[in-house]
Each structure stands twice: as C-alpha cells, then as structure tokens.
Structure 1
Amino acid sequence: MRATGDRLAIYLPVILMGLLALGTYWLASNTPTFFGASDAQKTPTHDPDYFMRGFSVKTYDPTGRLKSEIFGTEARHYPDTDTLEIDQVRIRSYDEKGAVTVATARKGISNGDGSEAQLMGDAVVVRDALPDTNTPRMEFRGEFLHVFVNTERVKSHLPVTLIRGTDRFIADQMDYDNLDRVMDLRGRVRGVLMPQGRKPAP
C-alpha cells in the first residue's frame, strides 16, 4: 500500500496539471466571448464615416499631372463601398492633351479615385472642342449620366440628349465612347443634322 501511495504521489502533480488543463479548455470553450461584437463594429457599414462641406478634391496621375477636380456643397463618404456621395456636384477632368470635360448634377456618386462618377438630376456633361483635331464641342444632358473619366465614356439607361457641334440627337439610352469615336443610341432615336456652317434654329 505504501509503495502504491508513493507512486501516486509521484504522478499526482502530473494528473492535477492534466485535470487543470482540461478544466481550463472546457471553461474557455463554454464561456461567451465578445469577439463577434468587436468584429461587427470593425466591419464597414453603409453609414458615412466623414462629411465635407464646400470642398474640392483633386486627383493626379503618377507623373503629377492633374486628372480631375471634384467640387460640391456637401459630401458623405461611405467606407463599405469607398464612394463619395456629393450634393450639387461639379467635376472637371483633363485628358493628356489638356482638353477639359465639365460635368454637373444635383447629386453625384464618385468612386475612390475619381475615375468614375454617376450623375443624377439635371445631369450635364460638356467636353470642349478640339480645334487641332476638328472635334466639335460635345454636350450630354439627362436625368442620369454615368461618366468614366479614364476611358472617356458616357453611358445612360435613361433618355438623353446629345449635342455634337450643331447636330442634336435624342435617344432612350446611350453609350458613347470618345476614344473610339463610337456613339451607340438605343430605343426611340431622333436626330437633326445641320449642314456645316449653318446654325440650328433657336
């Protein structure tokens, strides 16, 4: 009996440590944690994380050339989509040749780098004429215009009016690619083509 007791005394600390480890594991497994709540707070939600009023945001290319400027009366940034929602938006973009395109609307949604903007409410996009290439002034009007600055495209799934120099087109939908000089008008399309040198009737 004494020998048996001595053996138990030798292994007792090991047994107690094992039981303590099992108890700790069980306690950790069955104790509610707050990690989920903390993670939920860190997950971006569609709530603005900052506001701007009477602001101007500029973006540049890697060489330092000014690519675009965004102005507005108020803006709200949404972290989950990294978008900027702007009231009374005004955007000026510059291509590599220095040509200026100006876009305005009652509301606009711009992505993080300013390369894409959705214009809503009295949306107007105007591109200056390029005399060196005989490219006339371009103007787009509609309740919704989707502008892609880098690829120089303007799209809309709603009715639009396109004015190119003295010519005027109206369509239910539009996809205009300035780089390829392709204008895709869909739905009910109407156009007025004016002879060169003649101005349209007021």
Structure 2
Amino acid sequence: MTVARRMRLSWDRVSLYLPALLMGLLALGTWWLVRNAPKPPQTQQVRVPTHEPDYFMRGFSVKTFDATGRLESDMRGDVARHYEDTDTLEVDKVHMRSVTPEGRVTVATANRALSNADGSEVQLFGNAIVTRESLPRKGVAPQPKLEFRGEFLHIWVNSEKVQSDQPVTLTRGSDQFTADRMDYDNLDQIVQLQGRVRGTLQPAPGAANRR
C-alpha cells in the first residue's frame, strides 16, 4: 500500500469524528463565553413595608416650639411605637398638652393614642379625656371650661374639631350633655349631638337675683 493511500485512509477515519469534535469545541466555547460574560446588574429589590414597629420609645417626652421659642405642644407616654407603612405613632398612656398663641391650654389623656406624622390628627382610645381650659380675658367674660369624655375621641388639631361615633359626655362649665355620637367644631362654635341625647343645664350664677 502506497504512502498516499495510507494517508487518504487515515484522513477518512479522522473525518468521521470531525463533526463530533467540532460540536464539542463549539459547546465548550459557548460554555466559556457564558461563564466569562459580564453579568447584568442585579436590580435592588424594594422592601415592602409591613405593619410592624420600626422603632420604640419608652418613658418619652416630645415638645414642639414655634419660631419665637414658644411652647406649642408637649406629648408624653409610657411606650411609643412607630409604624413605617402608615407613618403613624402609637402611644400607650398618652398625655398631650397644647397651647394656642392666645394662651389657651388643651389637655388630652387616654389609655392609647394613634397620631399621624405631624400630629395634626390624633385618635384617643380608652378612657379618653380632652379638656379645654377657660381663658380669662380682661373686660371679656371668659368662655367656660370645656371637657369631652368617652372611650373614643377623634381630634383634628389644626381645624380644632373633635368627633366620636361612640357615646360621649360633654361638659361645658356646669352644664353636661350625653349623646351616642358627637361632632364638635370649635372654629364655627357648633356642636352636633346625635342618638340618645340628654342634658343638664344649671342656672348661671346670680341668675336668681336678676329676676
């Protein structure tokens, strides 16, 4: 057998395995490219806030002041919990005190309070009491002390409103009213009592002498 014939036979044998060899090299090259190709940047997963406290405060006191340094409000409580998903503050055994620019003092207490972020809307739960003190004015008859009591009171601080869909007791000076529901607007000087309404009116001091 001549050398040329042997070479031709060897090449024929090699050519039988050439397609498989090329496929293997192609697969190996593809694996190498995938392995060494730059990875796309991973998108940061956005954490969905849950209704779980993200911080606590115990035995705290928070005070706010206006631009002149005048005390506007003071909030104290046993425990406060902040909820990130609603941006609300829940306070146990809350005691709040606010002072208007005219000097009128309002005090609110309850077993539990729920306030929005800026404190403009507060809900009081359990033994809720809101008291607006009388403000003496020179030459003007002072408005009597005003007090709200109930198991639930909803307060809008800026608009000076107090609402409740549960039984409440309203005391104005020596007069007292009870109702199943209440809507009080201090700016408009309007109070709406609904449901079973009862009232006790006391005569003004000295009224008998003026008859």
Range of TM-score over shorter length: 0.7 to 0.9
The whole-number CA distance in structure 2 between the counterparts of 1:149 and 1:119 is 13
Q: Which amino acid aligns with 1:116?
A: E
Whether the aligned pair in 2 keeps the contact of 1:85 and 1:110 (CA below 8 Å) is yes
Could you say which residue in structure 2 is the equivalent of 1:139?
147
Could you say which residue in structure 2 is the equivalent of 1:13?
none
The whole-number CA distance in structure 2 between the counterparts of 1:159 and 1:85 is 23
Alignment of 1:5-20 (within 5 A): none
Could you say which residue in structure 2 is the equivalent of 1:162?
170
1:78 aligns with 2:83: yes
The whole-number CA distance in structure 1 between the counterparts of 2:68 and 2:156 is 20
Q: Which amino acid aligns with 2:50?
A: T
What are the ranges of 5 or more consecutive residues in structure 1 without an aligned counterpart?
1-19
Could you say which residue in structure 2 is the equivalent of 1:106?
111
| Runs of 4+ with >3 A deviation | 33-36, 60-65
C-alpha displacement of 1:111: 1.2
Question: Which of residues 48, 57, 77 in structure 2 aligns to 1:52?
Answer: 57
What is the TM-score of this pair, normalised by structure 2?
0.73
The whole-number CA distance in structure 1 between the counterparts of 2:74 and 2:88 is 15
Could you say which residue in structure 2 is the equivalent of 1:10?
none
Whether the aligned pair in 2 keeps the contact of 1:68 and 1:114 (CA below 8 Å) is no
Check 1:110–1:151 CA distance in 2 against 1; reply closer, same or farther (3 A cut). Answer: same
C-alpha displacement of 1:148: 1.4
Q: Deviations over 1:98-122 (max 9, x none)?
A: 1110000000001111122100000
Query: Which secondary structure does the structure 1 equivalent of 2:131 belong to?
Result: strand
The whole-number CA distance in structure 1 between the counterparts of 2:193 and 2:67 is 35
Whether the aligned pair in 1 keeps the contact of 2:103 and 2:135 (CA below 8 Å) is no
C-alpha displacement of 1:91: 0.6
RMSD: 2.4
Q: Which amino acid aligns with 1:82?
A: D
Q: Deviations over 1:152-176 (max 9, x none)?
A: 1111010000000000000010011
Could you say which residue in structure 2 is the equivalent of 1:7?
none
What are the ranges of 5 or more consecutive residues in structure 2 without an aligned counterpart?
1-29, 207-211
The whole-number CA distance in structure 2 between the counterparts of 1:70 and 1:102 is 10
What is the TM-score of this pair, normalised by structure 1?
0.76
Aligned length, in residue pairs: 170
Whether the aligned pair in 2 keeps the contact of 1:67 and 1:93 (CA below 8 Å) is yes
Could you say which residue in structure 2 is the equivalent of 1:16?
none
Q: Which amino acid aligns with 1:143?
A: E
Question: Which of residues 98, 111, 130 in structure 1 aligns to 2:135?
Answer: 130
Identity in percent: 57
The whole-number CA distance in structure 1 between the counterparts of 2:42 and 2:149 is 52
Query: Which secondary structure does the structure 1 equivalent of 2:178 belong to?
Result: strand
Whether the aligned pair in 2 keeps the contact of 1:99 and 1:128 (CA below 8 Å) is yes
Could you say which residue in structure 2 is the equivalent of 1:193?
201
